[in-house]
Amino acid sequence: MGLLGALVDIRPLRGHPTFRRLWLGTTASGFGSQLGGFAATFYVWDRTHDPLMVGLLGLFTAVPLIAVALLGSAFVDHVDRRRLAMTTTCGLIVTSLLMTGIALWPGDGVWAMFGLVAAASSLSALGGPARRSFIPQLLPPERLAAGLALNHLSFQVAVLLGPAIAGVLTARWGTTVCFAVDAVTFVAALIGLAGLPESNTPTGAGRAGAAAVREGIGFAVRTPAVRGAFLVDLAATVLAMPVALFPVINQERFGGSPQILGLLTSALAVGGVLASALSGLITRRNRPGLVLLACAAAWGAALAGVGLSSQLPVVLALIALAGAADTWSVVSRGTIVQSSTPDTHRGRVASLEHIVGAAGPHLGGLRAGLVATGASGGTALLVGGLTCLAGVGLVSALVPQLRRFTITRQAPARAEAHV
């Protein structure tokens, strides 16, 4: 495979106009969300100067996200997903405008900000799975992995650049501008969604309600490739998520410098951006299951190495390697899950994927903190990386269908049905 073949595959953008419009809108809103998230954190800190209050933002984000995503799985496959995504996006515009108003208000709006953060998280938990279900409908199977890689590229670039730009805007004009930009970018997302075809309830979706939730969970458990993909993701995040340990490692080994802490945090995103730019190395291959297992193992091994090293260049390189492995893992997992899921269950399974992606890192941060409290940050990283490797090996042995999972490529590529 030549250099061009290694680069991110942009054929979904060139050949599928509806996907292109959706991607542009999603990219804009993803960048705006980074600005809004930064602004909410800074607003709470600026008004309280209390680390506990800042920490509560994570709770007000995670709990509604998990609860509402599970609730949404009861009906996401039984409504017009396009309309659901547009409605929740309109709600996010209103939420961002209300945050803008609170930032302008001279009084104490901290608890109101908490409520709006929870509302935004709930709306994202409803609309996110609906948006995920569109990509397999807009792209042929041989372009699905490339489309997911493009989505992750825009996310990684937003994570890398968004907070830095938000910091500049906040320093010059305050958080109000960040919240306002966030609202405007959601309008771009709304435009991208408007070009999608209506999605009626798929034949065979069954009845909405608690039975739909059980059926979605049952499908994920019964389908070996989906079950294995979720288990690998949980092994990587719950057992080896490193972000909560960065301040501890920084204090233990590098004197607690804020600049070094920034480098540790940025290294994950740098690795993710580089991996996204070179995603053609995996999206043009037919075995995403093997890629997922290899990348999850690389993630665990790299973080175990961080636990052993005290050399800053080595630590940064290993964290960047972990970030690259994580990016390819996410793309491969999405390819497996969406390729294995019929349209009748796509929304429900996307909700479960949303929950796994949200809950895993938070549980991993809790695990890491508990181990570090009883031992050290380095020990927590080493133990986490090694147990991740063991977990990935166990899934590989117990779910051979994941190792053998293959994408069937069609030639020539199917033309897009909706423009």
Name the burial class of residue 201, with classes exposed (0-12), middle (13-18) and buried (19+) by CB atoms within 10 angstroms of its CB.
middle
Q: Which of 50-54, 107-111, 221-225 has the lowest mean pLDDT?
A: 50-54
pLDDT of residue 202: 62
Give the span between the Cα atoms of 199 and 196, in whole angstroms.
Answer: 9
223-250 residue pLDDT tens:
999 999 999 999 999 999 888 788 888 8
Give the span between the Cα atoms of 2 and 405, in whole angstroms.
Answer: 25
| Percentage of residues of the chain with pLDDT beyond 90 | 52
Give the span between the Cα atoms of 232 and 239, in whole angstroms.
Answer: 10
pLDDT at 324 over 50: yes
pLDDT of residue 419: 32
pLDDT of residue 401: 95
Give the span between the Cα atoms of 183 and 32, in whole angstroms.
Answer: 8
360-390 residue pLDDT tens:
887 888 788 888 888 888 999 999 999 999 9
270-309 residue pLDDT tens:
999 999 989 999 988 889 999 999 999 999 999 999 999 9
pLDDT at 260 over 80: yes
**What's phi and psi for 20, nearest 5 deg?**
-60, -45
pLDDT of residue 139: 92
User: Using 50, 70 and 90 to split pLDDT, how confident is the model at 261?
Assistant: confident
pLDDT of residue 363: 81
Give the span between the Cα atoms of 51 and 89, in whole angstroms.
Answer: 31
Residue 217 DSSP SS3: helix
pLDDT at 87 over 90: yes
pLDDT at 82 over 70: yes
156-215 residue pLDDT tens:
888 888 888 888 898 889 899 999 999 999 999 999 998 887 766 665 656 778 888 888
pLDDT of residue 396: 96
| Percentage of residues of the chain with pLDDT beyond 70 | 94
Nearest one of 241, 263, 256, 273 to 157, comparing CA atoms: 273
**What is the DSSP track for 115-157?**
HHHHHHHHHHHHHHHHHHTTHHHHS-HHHHHHHHHHHHHHHHH
Give the span between the Cα atoms of 175 and 155, in whole angstroms.
Answer: 22
